[in-house]
Structure formats: structure tokens, C-alpha cells
Structure 1
């Protein structure tokens, strides 16, 4: 089997160490391979958002190791983590986080500036990404001129424009109606089929049922890790 793209070993995240400490993550270990489509599922306070922050290099663990592409990123400095986020990771958030006075193309181009791409290259990648999410006709529209589903598609285009190997989606359908949610899930599935590693953070079991692998987290620990393929087959029971 090929090497995991992501390897987490006994990660802990402890806030307020001591008598009133909170163990947001309490010894989490997992491997995620290239091209996997994974849902990390848990209720509010389960630790799933803290885990996403670790996987997205937005935070570092109190202890334990995180390897991305074989590189130990668990003890890197902020500027090094920022560079990894820029090259390796694409983020999709529940709240879209679009700039209101920029059109769709401008919003998608913005992160590409930090990659020091020239204007023509930025525009090419942005337009390509917007066409990929079905917004080829709305590149000049501002967020206020688009529905919630369209705004989330702009956010996905922004996440994929630089072609990062890993897409992290935090409750990507949380603010959407059922039809828009369905459309967003189809786009994420297509990204997975094209070889991207897609990780969704969600509390929604209906979303989890559509994803091939589900990791359930509770009280900072992995409670279950299984595949949604011909029924739920526990990972511990399948051949590695």
C-alpha cells in the first residue's frame, strides 16, 4: 500500500493544563491516503474542529506527531505552517468568507497572489476553477448577486484553484438548502474522483452517509472508523 498522505500519531491538544484542563484531542491516531474521501463526524465539543485545525496546519498539537507528505509539521514555526497551507491545503468554510466588493473571479484569484503568480496565470487558474464548479457564466458577479449555493461554489473554486492535494471542508453545507447541499456534495465527490484528498468536518449524518470513509470522534477520541461501502464495514475488520 502507498504511503499515507496524512499520518497523525497520538495527537493531544490540551487547553488550560492542570486542574481545569480541557482535552480537546486525547490521543488521536489516523492515516489518510491520497485520493480518500473522508468525513470526520462529531457533535459540538467532540474535538472535530480542533482536529481540522491540526490537519489544516492552523494549530499545533500539545503532544504527538503530524506528518503531511512524510514531513513532520507538528513543530514547525508559523511562517513555515503558512507556506504549507498555501501549497498543500485548500479550505472551504461554512460561512463562505468571500470579499463582498470583489467579484467571483477576484475572490478566487486573491489567494493566488500569495503564491506570487503573475496576473495572467492567476486569471487562468481562477476561471478554470470557476468553470469546474459550474460558475463559468457568473465570474463577474459579486457575492451579493449570488445565492448561498453559488457563493459556496465560489469558495470551493477558491480552494481548488491552486490545485492543492488536500481539500478541508468545515461544515460546507451547513448554511445551505437541501438542493444546494446536494450540488456541493456532487462537486466534492468529483474532486475526490479526480484524485484530490477531500476531508469534510460535519455533524450531519446525512452528509456522512454520502462519504466513503467516516471517522467518528467523541470526547477528543476516535470512537469509530469505518467505510460506507456495501454497508458499514469496520476498518479494523478489512484487509490493510
Structure 2
């Protein structure tokens, strides 16, 4: 598999000096295209900060981050926004749907930013909703759907533009066990279809469902292993 993500000696330091906090403390890792990865840790471990770096939502204090061979660690905000739109599909714990838009319109949003016309983006949005089993809910607004259905819309939105990376931040955190199982099955199917899926989680049961686990503590990687056999740590 080709290399997708290459993070080299990354630091994120808040309040530099005597009272500094190292949210990331010399993190290095590589993720190839087509991997199914969980980044796991307790609150304060650095996993959310690492997610922000991978998702180009923030830049490191120092270190390099190559995404598809481009060093995005030193990019300006406008360039980072373009990378996010082209390279990354986000799935958030809180769904982040627009309340006054129906499901298909929510899924269309990243396609609008890519400049697609109304007809092609509507077609793609409907296809994406079909993939997650919500084609019959296309005209429903978030308030008319369950939490699990809203998360399916969020997944459809994330995959609509076919980004190389699906980045899911605690995607089952607000869901019951049955719905969690359904969402994990969808993410597993996306991986099986060739997507790179990275899940940020605190849940060991979620981590057991992926191929590779990267465990953080105090801003450092303490374990990096394939389920069934350790790589490092």
C-alpha cells in the first residue's frame, strides 16, 4: 500500500516555558492507504490533538506532517482548508448536521465547496445516503431522525466527495450499543471497499474492531500494534 500519512517528531506545546503542556510530545507515525486504524487514549492523552493535526484543523508547534507527500504542517489557513476539503471526510461525535437542512442537503455541503453543480451533487448525495441505508430519509431533517440515523447522514456526508481519509472522532460516543454496532459495521464496510478509516476513541471495544491500534498517553505513543500481533511499543 502507498504511504498516506507520515508524521515526524510532532510536538504541540501550550504555554511554552515553565508551565508548558505538551499535548503531543514527539509523536512519529505512518499510516498507509487502505488501513483501518483506531487512535485510542483516555482524556488528556493527546488523541484529540493528534486528530486535529491529522485533520488539518491545527498545526504543530514543531515537527513535520506529510499527507500524500505534501508537508501540511507549515501551511496557512486557506491552504489547510483546501486540503481538508479535498483529502479528509470528517465524522463527528455530535453529528454536526445543519438543523434546517434535510439529509440530502446536508450530504451535499462538501460537494458545494468543491464547485459541483446542483444535479451532479444531488445525484452523489443520494448515492451516499443509499450506501448508509438512508435513501428513504433523504427529505428528513435532523430533528426527524434518531441519533443513529443522524450519524449515518454524517457518514454519507463524509464519503460523498470520496476523500482519501475518513476521520471519525468518537463516532459512536452518543449512541446506544445496538446503534454503535450498526455504525461500526458501516465503517468496516467502507474500509473493506478500500477507504482509509481512522477512528479516534477512548473505547477498547471499538479498538478491537479495527486492524491497527495506536495508543496514546501523555502526548506520546505507547503502543502501536496490529490486532493479533504487536508492531511496536
Q: Under TM normalisation by the shorter chain, which class is it?
A: over 0.9
- Residue segments in structure 1 that go unaligned for 5+ positions in a row: none
Question: How many residues are matched?
Answer: 233
- 1:112 corresponds in structure 2 to 111
Match of 1:165 in 2: 164
Contact 2:223 2:232 in 1 (8 A): no
C-alpha separation between the residues in 2 aligned to 1:167 and 1:236? 24
Equivalent residue, structure 2, for 1:225: 224
Render the CA deviation track for 1:147-203: whole Å, top value 9, x for unaligned: 100000000000000000100000000000011100100110111111111000000
Give how far 1:4 is off: 1.2
Deviation string 1:96-118 (CA, Å, 9 cap, x unpaired) is 01111111001111221111110
The residue aligned with 1:19 is 18
CA contact (8 A) 2:4 2:69 kept: yes
- Superposed CA RMSD in Å reads 0.9
In 2, Cα distance between equivalents of 1:225 and 1:236: 5
Between the aligned partners of 1:61 and 1:147, the Cα distance in structure 2 is 37
Q: Runs of 5+ in structure 2 lacking a partner? A: none
Partner of 2:142: 143
Relative to the length of structure 1, the TM-score reads 0.96
Say if 2:192 is the partner of 1:196.
Answer: no
Please tell me whether residue 234 in structure 1 is matched to residue 224 in structure 2: no
- C-alpha separation in 1, matches of 2:37 and 2:2: 17
Q: Secondary structure at the match of 1:5?
A: strand
Match of 1:125 in 2: 124
Question: CA–CA distance in 1 between the matches of 2:91 and 2:3?
Answer: 22
1:75-95: CA deviations, max 9, x gaps? 001000000000000000000
TM-score (norm 2): 0.98
Runs of 4 or more, structure 1, over 4 Å off, are: none
